[in-house]
A and B are shown apart, each in its own frame.
Chain A
Amino acid sequence: MESWANVIMKKAFKHGSQNTIDQLKTIGRELSMGTQGNWLSSKEYLDLVKAIGEAKSKAEEESIVMAEIEHLKKRIMEPDVPRKKMKEYIIRLVYVEMLGHDASFGYIYAVKMTHDDNLLCKRSGYLATTLFLNEDHDLIILIVNTIQKDLKSDNYLVVCAALTAVCKLINEETIPAVLPQVVDLLGHPKEQVRKKAVMALHRFQQRSPSSMSHLLTKFRQILCDKDPSVMSAALCALFDLVSADVKGFKNLTASFVSILKQVAEHRLPRAYDYHRTPAPFIQIKLLKILALLGAGDKHASENMYSVLMDVIKRNEPGKGDPGSNITNAILYECICTITAIMANSKLLGLAAEITSRFLKSDSHNYKYMGIDALGRVIEINPDFAEEHQLSVIDCLEDQDDTLKRKTLDLLYKMTKSSNVEVIVDRMISYMRTLSDAHNKTEIATRIIELTERFAPSNQWFIQTMNQVFELAGDLVPVKVAHDLMRLLSKGAGEDDEEADSLLRSSAVESYLQLLAEPKLPSILLQVACWVLGEYGTVDGTHSADDIIGKLCDVAEAHPGDNVVKGYAITAITKICAFEIGAGREVELIPECRSFVDDLLASHSTDLQQRAYELQVFFGLGADLVRKVLPVNGSGEEIEFDRELPFLQEFVDSALANGARPYLDENERLGVDSGMSSFVSSSRSHHEPSHGLRFEAYETPTAAIPSGSAAAPSSLLPDFEESVTELTRSVRNQTDSSQVDLLGPEVARLRLDGVQRKWGRTSGSSQPSLAPTPASEQQRRDSGVSEGASSNKESSPAEPRHEIYSSSFEGKKVEREIPAEKQRLAASLFGGSSVQKGSSGGVKGGVKASKAAGNVRPGEKGVPPRPAAGSGKKKNWSAAEPKQASSSLMDLVDMSGDDSLPVHDAKASYDPFKELEGLLGVPSTAASSTSVGLGKSTMDFMSLYDSAPVVSQSASSLAGDSDVLSLSHRRSGGMDGANGVEGGLIDLNILPSLSPLAGLGELAQSSSSLSPSTGVSDKKGPSRQHSLQKDAASRQVGVTPTGANPALFQDLFG
């Protein structure tokens, strides 16, 4: 070993100083080596390699390789290429492909070569195919037969070659073709073959566990193979199997322990020693398996104590000796096992001892392992960190990036409120050194998480966030910015107005400072604009003109960023409004004037609208402006009366003017809910559909009485406008009223309103400008919220609650240590000793509560909503287009023609019920829409397309509405999480005209449910799939499908 290392070092000296080109000049010497074994050493190949090595530029290399490819293409296709030549061509192809060029034209020749009888050619063929092809390549099928034959060969080397190829080339479908042969090979007399067969089986197991399930016992049997190398191959497979199913392998614990004992005691032949350590790789694998088996199992763990002690004792180096790499590998594995199982204190002590040794080592590798081990040990014994604080800080300050990252990982795990400032500070300074987006995002996420969880003060929180925005910029999710704005607007949560305003003034100051810097990320500018708009003039230190000037500068400096511009103009609007509201005369400064003029002519309708809104304010009286945009209005909670009583008058007059009375959603079948209408129409297929009309419905727009406010086609915007006029505050209203319509959850809505206020000022702004509603929706739909969103959802008081609990924790211990490093250490590890119990508890508690917070929305899918929701909708829907309701009535009517008895209808309802929540995407349902019905719905859809807001809100209405509750009831609590008031049922059912109309409702309700629950309650794809299949087959059986419209029309048209 020593001499070998010397040789390498000498070589390093010899070659390291020269570059490849120089090496190639000594080709004469190397040629003799290259020809050794008569392998790939044709002159042409050498020339190629030489030419590439000598290429002066990438382009030159490229042209050489291209020429080579052309050459090979020509030569390889010639008839009767001698096999030796062919083999060489293929090796050259492999080389060319390794350099990144396409060699696919030669794949087939590589496959052909595996058929060769000559082992050299066969192996070259296998080598090339394993490198060229993936297991799903079309050519694989040509190779399976050869592999099958070779697996049966009586030459074990051929068998080995085939087994090696099998690992790479066999996919799930071809496993059965070779599986029997491979299993037979487990009884092969050569241990090499058995070993490789085990490996191949393991590979199959990874690829397709299902096709291997009957062979699991085989792996256990192989464990008893008389050859240790075969047994060790089985350990690889067993490791995977055990990690997938610990319980099933508990009974093997004793066997693994006894194998480990024998290996450690040196009972294996000397040939298995590696640097005098008995079969270290087997020991490591066994330790890994034991860690899995012993986790959380006292009994299994106890069985391992003695063998672990033994292994450690045997591998522990003497005093002052760092130990060999491989013994340390085993020792590290022992630590992993000890910390994973329920170890006794003695073992834990040993683990701690080894960890200390690693941390104190000079080798970076051992330090790295030490930091990792420390992370494991302190999970069990937090005290332990204290002892090693200095080593940890050394690692943190090391120039080695890997070590630094690992140490930050460790610190992240041990962050508490007492050390959060130091740790986050470290993370931020580390983030400064990073350039790649991936790592930056990761560390930014961590900083944000820690900051949100442990922030000692709001001030610090804001500062930290600003730093994160500045460094990570657009890698930070928008949500984080919104959280920050919310924190500012809500203040400290209590009625401590003074502290709040202090906080805000300091925020204003810090952003004014920040804005002086060039090149800020968009997200930071957005926050800055918002803060300046909201609080810039509040404390009186800055004049409105100053702030407006700053805002104009920001907008000017970012001509391409419409979002920032939008934030800026809205901020200006607010400042002007505050001024007007305060009774002061406002004269826009010239640069602002021109900015506004620009926006008035902007291509972005959103910006245009914002600019126009600003103009409108100048024409309004101070009182009105004060009401519309009150100072510090963002923190205020807006109540929504879902009954919308103020609309009553409007509705009455509409009715008096001949508008149709309100019809419940279910009767409007498929009109109001964009997507669900589609679904429902496809559902109606299952309905007895004899009554379907096939002529197109009149387009709804045509039927709109232009003068009547009762039935505007762009229903929602108008509606919202009227709301805008009527409600007190414009800016919260516009968005949040929309949110209100969209989203049912009252508690969250308010927050949404606050958060999204800046997302868009207008209900009709384009979706592209509104990332927030989308994310909002997504969050609501999927029910997945990140760590912080639990704070957000409940109330702003919650983060503070955490802060308090943790600062309380922090108070317990403050240690004083001199020396600078020790001070750092103290700030990092400060409270560890006293806190250990409590910190674990609090941490766990927080985690648990977080988890609960996260799970809750997920379970519910659609959050429960107050019964008032339907009432509101009732009023609101009175303003639906007449046409919509009339066509709905048609749909209902046609089922009235139907002669099918009710119970039949019920039966046909059944499959939909099964389907609800299982249809993953609404479009799957939509795709099966029939032509006849699809046409009518298409009209409505196109209507919605032209008014995106309508369709958006409409589809979410379908998601949240009483429809859901109805079908929920009927489906026997299948989506049991959607708790809904029972009263709604009546609302839905009473208006039904007939049982069959009720049927129509059912169809719609079940279908309109699917888009919403489909997103929220994801069930197993296989079940969904099978149910879809089932539904499809029923459809085919019962009614003609959209795939055959002619037949459909012939029959019914």
Chain B
Amino acid sequence: MILAALIMNTQGKPRITKFYDHVSVERQQEILRVVYSVLSSRSGNLCSFVEADDIFGPDTKLVYKHFATLYFVFVIDSAESELGILDLIQVFVETLDRCFKNVCELDIVYNFGKVHTILDEIVMGGQVVETSSAEVMKAVQDIWKLERVGELNPANIRGIGHYKNSRS
């Protein structure tokens, strides 16, 4: 399962942290520190996996990708495929990019709720639920549409949310 999804910038500031099992705030900070120190010590073109048994316990790995000023890190156990998760990060970033049109760190900072929504569509309870960026976009846009309508006129809420099953 996926134990945590983290986004932090190259200075070690957390941007998004999501732990799928509860972790206390203090421990979260410690984890972020350790993960950052590990990642920042690795130069480019090394492999994207770091064994993390000293941080998360036996058989856990960090799978990470470095984009511009951000690290995208997924913490996984042995039930996930490392290369697969690498592509999942790709899907995640791709979706963010579609959503924010050229995503950058600031988008993630300011739209932290949106990013969480997207992540929730991809990973749920530590399991991968959706791997198609297009599907995630659709779902997320439904939510936002509804939210905006709800903002303007709460009475309209009923109308939205009954889309036809879009995929098949």
Contacts and interface: CB of A to CB of B under 8 A. Distances in A.
Interface of A: 1, 4, 7-8, 11-12, 14-16, 19-20, 23-24, 27, 30, 33-34, 36-41, 45-46, 49, 91, 94-95, 97-102, 117-120, 123-124, 127, 131, 133-136, 154-158, 160, 163-164, 167-168, 189-192, 195-196, 199-200, 202-203, 227, 229, 233, 236, 239-240, 243, 269, 271-272, 274-275, 280-281, 284, 288, 325-326, 328-329, 332-333, 363-365, 367-369, 399-403, 405-406, 436, 438-439, 442
A157 B161 CA distance: 6
B136 to A, nearest CB: 11
Contacts of A167: 20, 124-126
A34 B111 contact: yes
Given A15-B68, A37-B111, A239 B79 contact: yes
A328 B48 CA distance: 15
Given A40-B110, A271-B135, A118 B150 contact: yes
Contact of B102 (A11, A134, A272, A332): A11
29 contacts: A7-B97, A8-B97, A12-B67, A30-B106, A34-B111, A36-B100, A38-B151, A39-B114, A91-B112, A91-B113, A118-B154, A120-B147, A120-B150, A123-B113, A127-B117, A133-B22, A168-B125, A192-B139, A199-B127, A229-B129, A233-B129, A243-B79, A269-B167, A326-B84, A329-B82, A332-B81, A365-B48, A400-B46, A400-B47
A229 B88 CA distance: 16
Interface residues of B, number: 88
A336 B41 CA distance: 31
Contacts of A98: 14, 16-17, 28
A280 B91 CA distance: 13
A195 B9 CA distance: 33
Nearest to B88: A281
Contacts of A119: 143, 146-147, 150, 157
B157 A200 contact: no
Contacts of B79: 239-240, 243, 288
Given A157-B146, A227-B167, 8 more contacts: A8-B68, A34-B110, A100-B32, A157-B161, A203-B126, A229-B167, A236-B127, A329-B83
A30 B106 CA distance: 7
A400 B29 CA distance: 26
B50 A157 contact: no
A12 B68 contact: yes
Contact of B134 (A94, A271, A288): A271
B103 to A, nearest CB: 8
B157 A402 contact: no
**Interchain residue pairs A-B with the least CB separation, the first 7:** A134-B22, A167-B125, A329-B83, A364-B47, A438-B54, A34-B110, A120-B147
Nearest to A332: B83
A326 B112 contact: no
Interface string B10-29: 11011011101010011011
A164 B124 contact: yes
A40 B102 CA distance: 19
Nearest to B91: A274
B146 A280 contact: no
A402 B84 contact: no
Main secondary structure of the interface of A (DSSP, over half): helix
* Residue of B48, B53, B112, B132 with most chain A CB atoms under a 10 A cut-off: B112
Contacts of B100: 33, 36
B106 A402 contact: no
Contacts of B167: 191, 227, 229, 269, 271
Contacts of B88: 281
A405 B51 contact: yes
A326 B87 contact: yes
A438 B51 CA distance: 12
A4 B124 contact: no
Contacts of A45: 110
Contacts of B25: 97, 100-102
Q: Which of A117, A167, A438 has the most CB of B within 10 A?
A: A167
Most A Cβ at <10 Å: residue of B53, B148, B161: B161
A8 B69 CA distance: 11
A364 B45 CA distance: 7
